[in-house]
Copies of this chain bind each other. A is one copy, B any other.
Amino acid sequence: MKIITGGVTAAKGFQAAVAAAGIKYKDRTDMAMIVSKVPAVTAGTFTRNVVKAAPVVWDQQMVAQKECAQAVVVNAGIANACTGSEGMGYCKKTAEKVEQVMGISADQVLVASTGVIGMQLPMEKLASGIEHMVPKLSSAIESGHEAACAIMTTDTKSKEVEGKTVTLGGMCKGSGMIHPNMCTMLGFVTTDLAISKELLTEALKEDVKDTYNMVSVDGDTSTNDTVLLLANGMAGNTQITQKDENYQKFVEALNYVNTALAKKMAGDGEGATALFEAKVVHACTKEDARVLAKSVICSSLTKAAIFGHDANWGRILCALGYSGAVFDPEKIELFFQSKSGKIQIYKDGTAADYSEEEATKILSEEEVTVLVDMKKGEEEATAWGCDLTYDYVKINADYRS
């Protein structure tokens, strides 16, 4: 696997463009399009929230019914969720507009929205945005980057990841209402690989369990979470149709891209000053490892302690304890680590002999890891979150105004 630069336009045949359509924001780009030169086999994972935004319903239907898709239209600012019967209408009109302007069949057009719930979309502005974007579609690295910026809401950094020789590139957004199960995150991963729809779907479904679904900013699973994976086959490889060595390489590359995007999302959580990672090793089962890791990064008390650079390991142990996994607290061990070093903080049922000063130094970095050694089995999992800060409260006490 070779890491190259470039985002969603890195893979052969993918183009992107953006527009400042003025949907809600007045002074920035707020629409993006990704288009494949040829129809791309498509897989998707979507929010498990019972309350699903209209674009989620639209994409779920399209991905289930159609082998391929060729374009994705994204807007930021308004989520098109809880928009009543009008909601699906916006999706249909958006797809029809793309068909009208560039001849791609409306049933090959996917849509995604993020932003305020309950506001209606200004359809004329969306249509103008599409007219503006189509002539500007480009496979330049810069276009991929602009697209990653255009889909941001409370995000402070754009999130892009690049791939390898059979190229895989991605972008995503997500900062608050982040507790993917599948997650207000939007993720778009493109590849020029030739692969069957069945294997593409399985690869994505398996990978989100260890990537996006291991991220939490605030425990709120959004109405809009969507990850779309488009594979247009333009690399010219023999199509992957079984779980051979090439499939494994693809799975590995996909995991690299999704993990990197997931970490970027967590590190840019609303108000965050640090990426907070929980790595659980030597658990009995994979599910135990996931549940334990996620419980730690979801704990408000632990997140506030990380903000305070306070080695309050009791809160971590508490979060492990209420996770649902069964274990003997006397047997496990806890460590803090960052680029400033690694220290043991808990063993034999009580505090290890560590220096608070050293702990504070380790916890003052921008990426902080708590390592949980369950001392029992062979399974491991990692989850990503962020610290809980004054700015999270500030951003969310007054988001709509």
Which chain A residues have a beta carbon within 8 Å of chain B's beta carbons? 47-52, 79, 81-85, 116-118, 176-177, 179, 181, 218-223, 298-301, 304-305, 307-308, 310, 312-315, 317-323, 325-327, 329-330, 346, 348-351, 388-390, 392-401
Contacts and interface: CB of A to CB of B under 8 A. Distances in A.
B312 A82 contact: no
Nearest to A394: B390
A155 to B, nearest CB: 16
15 contacts: A49-B322, A82-B314, A82-B346, A82-B351, A117-B313, A117-B314, A181-B322, A219-B219, A219-B298, A220-B300, A223-B318, A304-B393, A308-B399, A310-B399, A312-B400
B398 A49 contact: no
A50 B329 contact: yes
Contact of A321 (B50, B307, B390, B398): B50
A219 B300 contact: yes
Contact of A117 (B49, B317, B389): B317
A357 to B, nearest CB: 13
Given A117-B314, A349-B82, A401-B310, A218 B301 contact: yes
Contacts of A318: 49, 51, 81, 117, 177, 220-223
A253 to B, nearest CB: 31
A319 B346 CA distance: 35
A176 B299 CA distance: 12
Nearest to A398: B308
Specify which of A47, A50, A300, A317 lies most central, judged by the most chain B CB atoms within 10 Å of its CB.
Answer: A300
A235 to B, nearest CB: 38
Nearest 5 Cβ contacts at the A-B interface: A117-B314, A308-B397, A51-B321, A304-B396, A221-B322
Contacts of A218: 300-301
A116 B301 CA distance: 12
Nearest to A117: B314
A349 B351 CA distance: 52
A314 B350 contact: no
Contacts of A82: 314, 317, 329, 346, 349-351
Contact of A49 (B85, B313, B321): B321
Given A346-B82, A349-B82, A321 B223 contact: yes
A14 to B, nearest CB: 32
B319 A220 contact: yes
B327 A176 contact: no
Contacts of A83: 349-350
Given A300-B218, A320-B50, A326-B50, A399 B348 contact: no
Contacts of A300: 218-220, 300, 392, 396
A371 to B, nearest CB: 17
A299 B392 CA distance: 13
Contact of A350 (B52, B84, B222, B392): B84
